[in-house]
Structure 1
């Protein structure tokens, strides 16, 4: 576990806190964040950290964080308690794996506001802010259905958390929308950061015929990239735009800028708009948060079809389903 202490703009001795949820008007906002992973994973956790830095820079907040925590409820609860005991205005738990721990710890610290990014829990002093990555994942599945030449499309993720399951379901249903005859290979391999593991499972899917694989990984994405480069398959990334990094490997990227969720929660708190007991959802209607990026070699007719599907989702003509009850590969 790595702990980063407060980045101060004033000495602790000068800080006076109101006995309510929010900081007093003249006091800087104090925000802490728990990241159950590595802040340099080039994926979900790094996006969360970037959001915390935006909170500091854009809102003038004093920030603190803990990273490197295993995604186990007991360990997450210990870290959340440590952050809450310091008396911040808000603790942001980055990732749906914090759902159970946040419910427990929020009840123990009723004077602190808690937000779970990509969460599904609420309470009097607890809210969830969710970037709807399943919407960009649905578009990614639709694009894969239009682009696959083998008729076999894969999906790889690590741990089985709700956002990952919803992303997988969204991708599958998008694939079914444009190519209902496509074969779908899917696995939750058990680790977001293990490159040896991701190389192996990506190789297995490619050997089974997959020419496009959607990866929802963190630091372990490199192994999948290596497998696809070696075997000539294409990858669809997530969280950020991977096509800009490696367009030869990445045919698309299901962007879900989860840094926006924590920043929005902190901004709502600063403006007096934050409320416990609610789940705030941010989707394709905010293109800074949710979108699909396509590699430059994607044909224009596919781009046009994907754009039309995006507009149908925003307009309510397509309901993004996150359900999947089909077979899974075993780790």
Structure 2
């Protein structure tokens, strides 16, 4: 068949026809906006490495919730910045902790807002790791103890769910964390609460600005013994398969932009809703380039989010959510 008959450009001739045949679409309803809450009053502090992203005290959440509603964003991922830390992250599972208070406040402001509670303890521990630190006498070094750490995450998940969180999102990457949390929720009469597992979370350089935001940088070592090696894909499939067996309701890949192949691999392997986490450094790099006039921010962001959806993500967690929602209204 000659090219005289086959003209692919016929389906690109106008904005209307391009929209008609578009295969991949982004909607505000499938974006989750990360929200950082902190103690105090009248606090709205911009995070230096993340322009346009703020720490909020509870008394200033009303305007933020109203803006999200107006933009059509119906889901938030909630992070807490506590005023006290200790070795066992006790403020993470305190029923009157900052996240628990924020969940109740947000539900008062907008009962229909979907609250995804990040269930980790790194920002609540004095050492900045995602669990209990123990000394291994065989290796003569401090290590993150897997099974004792699970107890902290279960208590945190149950406390957040009791406060009213709609979804629990554990991000600690301990072995067996989904099964432990599922059992803890079920035994507490919370079997209706789904788990959005950070199934494939890499030990990535793309988290730097987030650690600035959550004040969660480890005080010694790194997280490479529990977060994944960025070079591995098959290991990620094994991690996700374990989470499916243990009762996860969503699977997640974090980061997203440098791991689109991993998103695609999970999409082809599993049927659960798949979440891509468009991380802090991905956001900050775009903002910095836009501030310097090097890129068209709107075009870059929408193209990037489209790429994540095209790779197989159903849902995207992104700091760009509010900007993207505004731009999508213009399309």
Asked if these proteins are the same fold (TM beyond 0.5), I'd say no
TM-score, structure 1 normalization: 0.28
More helix, by proportion: 2
TM-score, structure 2 normalization: 0.28
